[in-house]
Amino acid sequence: MRGKAVNILGIETSCDETAAAVVADGRVVKSSVVASQTKLHEKYGGVVPEIASRAHIEKIYPVIKEALQQAGTGRDDIDAIAVANQPGLTVALVVGVTAAKTLSFMWEKPLIAINHLHAHMQSAILGHENPSLPAVALIVSGGHTSLYDYHSPLEPKLLGSTIDDAAGEAFDKVAGMLKLPYPGGPAIEETAKNGNPKAIQFPQSMLSADSLDFSFSGIKTAVLYHCHGQDMKGENKVDSMSKQQIADIAASFQAAVVDVLVKKTQRAIERIDAKTVLLGGGVAANSHLRSALQQMCDSTKPAKKLLIAPKQYCTDNAVMVASLAYYKFKAGLFADLTVEPKARG
């Protein structure tokens, strides 16, 4: 007979989503509540930390309450409280961490601290028990672009990361240049559907021949020059561009970024002789990236299995936090009440 399920309440406030979820045994999603702050940050074209923090304070209690209600769970059914405590905006993380610590203390439940990027990897694994390992995990979000050697959920090893902008950040900034709505990733993807990805050759930074790091500031600047002229003295041409021209820029930019992400992932596969590839993070919602990576995994010899996070768990959510916490729970890796938020992780 199977034992009682382990129910973990997960909390996520690392950037601009206030989220809570209840997950049983690391894989049965009992509830998932996400309050997005997109509307609040829209007019600034990016996340404003103080606004994010204030919005988390307003939303944290109702979001946790709803997650518990939807799951039909209360204090007695919850076995542990998990919270993403790093990396992220410190003023945002602190709200989730404080809520988690308070609940842990009041309910006398163990507290589990989770790395937000490791949790993004977990969303790709969700629903796939026992994938062949090692895997390469590509995590592409608004704040990070990283490749990991994934041997186990608890000890992924960083292989490379961006030395400047994250891929999602580049999508957001280029969308701003093209006067597309915020957040830029989905807007670029939509606009690119009508564009020619070969219309403009934007630079693809591969860094040195064996590097697994990324750099996206060059392509961002190239788009800026394309819109303003090389000397930046010309007026912004975007207002007078046709819809087709804008679509061509979006499609060419997206193709160049995706190409770099795919090539570097291929390098990482060779480096660690991976059997599986995991894809997670907000940019993993991009259909062009999903299909290009699938194509590469299918054509690599021998073919690699690609596991992609379901779209609703690509962007920030608490299911990934509660799910990863299950492995820490099993291993007895608990945090104490002195745990702090950390900007880097």
Please identify, using beta-carbon distances, which residue of 10 and 282 lies nearer to ligand KG4. Answer: 282
CB 204 within 8 A of CB 260: yes
Neighbours of 106 (CB within 10 A): 10
Provide, rounded to whole angstroms, the least separation between the CB of residue 141 and ligand KG4.
3
User: Per rule CB under 6 A, is residue 183 in the interface with ligand KG4?
Assistant: yes
User: Per rule CB under 6 A, is residue 15 in the interface with ligand KG4?
Assistant: yes
User: Per rule CB under 6 A, is residue 165 in the interface with ligand KG4?
Assistant: no
Provide, rounded to whole angstroms, the least separation between the CB of residue 11 and Zn ion.
14
User: Per rule CB under 6 A, is residue 286 in the interface with ligand KG4?
Assistant: yes
Provide, rounded to whole angstroms, the least separation between the CB of residue 189 and ligand KG4.
4
Rg (CA), the chain: 21
User: Per rule CB under 6 A, is residue 45 in the interface with ligand KG4?
Assistant: no
Task: Determine how β-strand 135-140 pairs with β-strand 28-36.
Answer: unpaired
User: Per rule CB under 6 A, is residue 316 in the interface with ligand KG4?
Assistant: yes
Cα–Cα distance, 339 to 297 (Å, whole number): 39
Q: What is the DSSP string of 298-312?
A: HHSSS--EEEE--GG
User: Per rule CB under 6 A, is residue 341 in the interface with ligand KG4?
Assistant: no
What is the b/e burial string over 297-319, where b = at least 16 CB atoms within 10 angstroms of the residue's CB? Answer: beeeeeebebbbbeeebbbbbbb
Cα–Cα distance, 21 to 27 (Å, whole number): 12
Binding ligand KG4 by CB under 6 A: which of 153, 156, 282, 345?
282
In the region spanning residues 134 to 193, those forming contacts with Zn ion, defined by CB under 5 A, are 141
- Judged by the rule CB under 6 A, the positions of this chain that interact with ligand KG4 are 15, 141-143, 168, 171-172, 183-186, 189, 281-283, 285-286, 315-316
- Judged by the rule CB under 5 A, the positions of this chain that interact with Zn ion are 141, 316
